[in-house]
Amino acid sequence: MAKRPASDTIAAIATAPGTGGIGIVRISGPEAPATLRRVFVPRRPRDRFASHQLYYGTVIAPDGQPLDEALAVHMHAPHTYTREDVVELHCHGSYLVLQEVLRHVLALGVRPAEQGEFTKRAFLAGRIDLTRAEAVMDLLQARTTRSARFAVNQLQGQLAGLLAAIRDELVTLLALLEVAIDFPDDDVEIFQAEAARARLRDGIFGPLERLIAMSDQGRIVREGIKVVIAGRPNVGKSSLLNALLQEERALVTALPGTTRDTIEEFISIRGIPVHLVDTAGIRAHEDPLEALGIERARQKCREADLILFVIDARAGLTDADRDLYALINDRQHVVVVNKRELIATEEWGGFAPAFPRQRVVAVSARERLGLEDLEEAVYRMALGEAGKIAEQMTCAPNLRHRAILEKTLAACHRFAEALAAGAPVDLLAVEVQSALDELGDLVGLTTPEDVLDAIFSRFCIGK
């Protein structure tokens, strides 16, 4: 897809709604410098604004009335986020003031920015590829320091670098094939099948397969998992929620059935965003309100990525526990033996034989004991056997990337099969070109306009 320069000038409030110390109105495009001169009066008059330098002055309305004291900066193209002239007005963080400033900027013929349009212009201008543009969105939505670090690494081009290396290998293969097509009668064998197989194995198949394998763990670090706390009434589910949150979020009493609806919060466990759900205790009951809570608990268990099945250490494994466990034992889960402070230490392991193939963790929600072991179990269950690999990852493909990488890999396999069958070089070139076209979609070289629109529509206005 050809990069096209924008011809109009756009503006938006670039800071989040609400009250703050500073709020920013951002303007980008060919009319940004002229707009600055019409809405901003520096304290010391000047003919031009030096690039990337802050100036103190007043933002004014068209009739000359002051709107706010502010700092203004003009960043000259092409050394800007969008590679266009960019102006920012750093005002006081009143959303009312920012809306008024933006209104007067738009009255001068500037167009309101669409969602993600500043970043889209950076992409269209060739300053960043599509994977780095998507990393901006990941960074804005990051819920943990680890997912933010993933996004920053991708923003700095680590994923783009891995993809570029694969693309270079494919380009080399295609170049050799095209030379062989152009000089079919040459005495020297230009395209060597054995060398092509080695290039495929080491420089293409291996890296593609690793990136695809990384995508599941990347999704978990980026988006997190839903963990549901389930069990019969009064085993300490709400106490466990409070212990993991390190705050008294749920009401806790000695009466069974206190929790009649779900309570949902986000926490970070080893850098993994966890959507934690406390549910009503599941039991047979005639109370209509509690019955609704129990049905909702069952539904949340069906939706969960991981279930923490809680039992009472003091009461032991009851028939009600066994009946409930039969409902969830086909789902990924960890058995949590709560209230371990009420039994002898040597009794903690007595529950393990009842769950021979499951991780069993003894905790005390009230005393905040054993929580590190539980968090470790959640982390390992979330990431599976690839947990240690994921700890070494610095970036990872998202679901869109994975789908394209799988198509690229399929094209490369077709090339390998055709190569083994002795197909003519022109047919081999078709499969290599197909793989290159797929990678072009991934980084934005050939991505359809509707796909680009869908990607950038997820951004906030002003970014």
> What does the domain layout of the chain look like in residue ranges?
10-129, 151-221+398-443, 227-391
The whole-angstrom distance between residue 332's C-alpha and the CA centroid of its chain comes to 23
184-198, 235-249, 298-312: least confidently modelled range: 184-198
Which residue has better confidence, 141 or 124? Answer: 124
Q: Who has greater pLDDT, 124 or 320?
A: 124
Work out the burial of residue 344: count CB atoms within 10 Å of its CB; fewer than 13 is exposed, 13-18 middle, 19 or more buried.
exposed
In whole numbers, what is the pLDDT of the chain averaged over residues?
A: 85
Give 187's DSSP letter: S
pLDDT tier for residue 363 given thresholds of 50, 70 and 90: very high
pTM for this predicted structure:
0.78
In tens, the pLDDT along 33-84 reads 999 999 999 999 888 899 999 999 999 998 889 999 999 999 999 999 999 9
- The β-bridge relationship of strands 225-230 and 272-278 is parallel
> Residue 265 — φ and ψ, nearest 5°?
-145, 160
Class of domain 227-391: alpha beta
User: Nearest CA to 236 among 370, 363, 371?
Assistant: 363
Tell me: pLDDT of 280 over 80: no
Q: Is it the case that residue 1 has pLDDT exceeding 80?
A: no
Q: What is the pLDDT of residue 359?
A: 85
In this prediction, residues 173-195 reach a mean pLDDT of 75
CATH superfamily entry for domain 151-221+398-443 = tRNA modification GTPase MnmE domain 2 (1.20.120.430)
What is the predicted pLDDT for the residue at 168? Answer: 94
| Side-chain half-sphere exposure of 157, counting CA atoms within 13 A | 6
| Closest to 113 in 3D by CA, of 138, 152, 80, 82 | 82
Structure tokens at 354: 């009842």
pLDDT at residue 184 in the model? 66
Provide the 8-state DSSP code for 254.
S
The fold of the 10-129 domain, in CATH, is Gyrase A; domain 2 (3.30.1360)
- Give the least confident one: 12-16, 28-32, 182-186: 182-186
**CB contact set of 54 (below 8 Å; sequence gap of 6+):** 71, 72, 73, 90
